[in-house]
Structure 1
Amino acid sequence: MADVTRMTATEIAALIAGGEASAVEVTQAHLDRIAAVDDRVHAFLHVDSDGALEAARAVDAKRAAGEELGPLAGVPVAVKDVLTAKGVPTTVGSKILQGWRPPYDSTIVRRLRAAGTVMLGKTNMDEFAMGSSTEYSAYGPTGNPWDLSRIPGGSGGGSSAALAAYEAPLAIGSDTGGSIRQPGAVTGTVGAKPTYGGTSRYGLVAFSSSLDTPGPCARTVLDAALLHEVIGGHDPRDSTSIPAPVPDVVAAARAGAGGDLTGVRLGLVTEFSGEGAEPGVMAAFRDAVDALTKLGAEVVEVSCPHFQYALPAYYLIAPSECSSNLARFDGVRFGLRVGDDGVHSLEEVMSLTRDAGFGPEVKRRIMLGTYALSSGYYDAYYGQAQKVRTLITRDFTAAFEQADVLISPTTPFVAFPFGSRTSDPYQMYLADLFTIPTNLYGGPGISVPCGLSEGLPVGLQIMAPTMADDRMYRVGAALESVIGTLTPPEL
Structure 2
Amino acid sequence: MTTRTDPADLGAVEARALIGRRALSSEELARACIARVKAVDHAVNALVARDFDRVIEGARVADAAQARGEPLGPLHGLPVAIKDMNDVAGLPTTFGSEIFAKNVPTRDDRLVAGLRAAGALPLGKTNNPEWSAGANTRNRVYGVTANPHDVTRNCGGSSGGSAVALACGYAPLASGSDLGGSLRTPAAYCGVVGFRPSAGVVPGPVRATALLPQPTSGPMARSVADAALMLSVMAAPDGDDPFTPVLDGRTPWEPGDFAVLQPRDLSALRVATTEDFGFAPVERATREAFRAGVSVLAPAFGVLEERTPDCRGADRIFSVLRATMFLATHAKFVDETPELVGPNVTDNVIEGRGYSAADVAEALVLQGEYHRRWRAFFETCDVLIAPAVSVTPRDWHEFWPRRIDDIETESYYHWLAMAYAATIPGHPAITVPCGRDANGMPFGLQIIGKRHGDAELLSVAAGIEALIAAQPDLAPRAPDIDALSAAPALSGAAAFLDIG
TM-score w.r.t. the length of structure 2 is: 0.86
Contact kept, 8 Å, 1:129 with 1:155, in 2: the verdict is yes
1:443 aligned partner: 427
Aligned partners of 1:394, 1:136: CA distance in 2, in Å? Answer: 38
Deviation at 1:479, TM superposition (A): 1.7
Aligned residue identity for 2:463: A
Aligned partners of 2:284, 2:105: CA distance in 1, in Å? Answer: 46
Is 1:106 aligned to residue 91 of structure 2?
A: no
Aligned residue identity for 1:324: A
Answer with 401-410 or 200-209: which moved more: 200-209
Is 1:357 aligned to residue 330 of structure 2?
A: no
After the TM superposition, which residues 30-429 of structure 1 pair with which residues of structure 2 at under 5 Å, given as runs?
30-136=33-139, 138-202=141-205, 209-243=212-246, 244=251, 245-246=253-254, 248-252=257-261, 255-256=263-264, 260-269=265-274, 271-272=276-277, 276-305=281-310, 307-327=311-331, 351=336, 354-372=337-355, 377-379=356-358, 381-422=359-400, 424=402, 426=410, 428-429=412-413
Aligned residue identity for 1:393: H
Deviation at 1:208, TM superposition (A): 9.7
**Pair 1:111–1:322, CA change in 2 (3 A):** same
Deviation at 1:164, TM superposition (A): 1.2
1:86 counterpart SS class: coil
Aligned partners of 2:211, 2:168: CA distance in 1, in Å? Answer: 30
1:341 aligned partner: none
1:335 aligned partner: none
Aligned partners of 1:415, 1:208: CA distance in 2, in Å? Answer: 34
Contact kept, 8 Å, 2:422 with 2:429, in 1: the verdict is yes
**1:277-315 deviations in Å (ceiling 9; x for gaps):** 23332233234334443334321344322x253233212
Percent identity of equivalent pairs: 34
Contact kept, 8 Å, 1:270 with 1:302, in 2: the verdict is no
Contact kept, 8 Å, 2:73 with 2:117, in 1: the verdict is no
Deviation at 1:188, TM superposition (A): 0.8
1:202 counterpart SS class: coil
Q: Which 5+ residue runs of structure 1 have no aligned equivalent?
A: 331-349
Contact kept, 8 Å, 1:292 with 1:478, in 2: the verdict is no
Aligned partners of 1:322, 1:103: CA distance in 2, in Å? Answer: 26
**1:256-297 deviations in Å (ceiling 9; x for gaps):** 5xxx31321112247537963233322332343344433343
2:266 counterpart SS class: coil
Aligned partners of 2:296, 2:263: CA distance in 1, in Å? Answer: 17
Query: How many equivalent pairs are there?
Result: 460
Deviation at 1:102, TM superposition (A): 2.1
1:434 counterpart SS class: helix
Q: Which 5+ residue runs of structure 2 have no aligned equivalent?
A: 403-408, 470-475, 485-500
Deviation at 1:139, TM superposition (A): 2.1
**Pair 1:207–1:120, CA change in 2 (3 A):** farther
Deviation at 1:246, TM superposition (A): 4.6
Aligned partners of 2:88, 2:418: CA distance in 1, in Å? Answer: 32
Contact kept, 8 Å, 1:129 with 1:207, in 2: the verdict is no
CA RMSD across the alignment: 2.4
Contact kept, 8 Å, 2:197 with 2:429, in 1: the verdict is yes
**Pair 1:65–1:81, CA change in 2 (3 A):** same
**Pair 1:39–1:209, CA change in 2 (3 A):** farther
Aligned partners of 2:205, 2:333: CA distance in 1, in Å? Answer: 18
Aligned partners of 2:125, 2:339: CA distance in 1, in Å? Answer: 23
Aligned residue identity for 1:469: D
1:343 aligned partner: none
1:472 aligned partner: 457
Contact kept, 8 Å, 1:176 with 1:208, in 2: the verdict is no
Contact kept, 8 Å, 1:78 with 1:172, in 2: the verdict is yes
Contact kept, 8 Å, 1:269 with 1:304, in 2: the verdict is no
1:408 counterpart SS class: strand
Aligned residue identity for 2:357: Y
Corresponding residue to 2:479 among 462, 483, 488: 488
Deviation at 1:223, TM superposition (A): 0.5
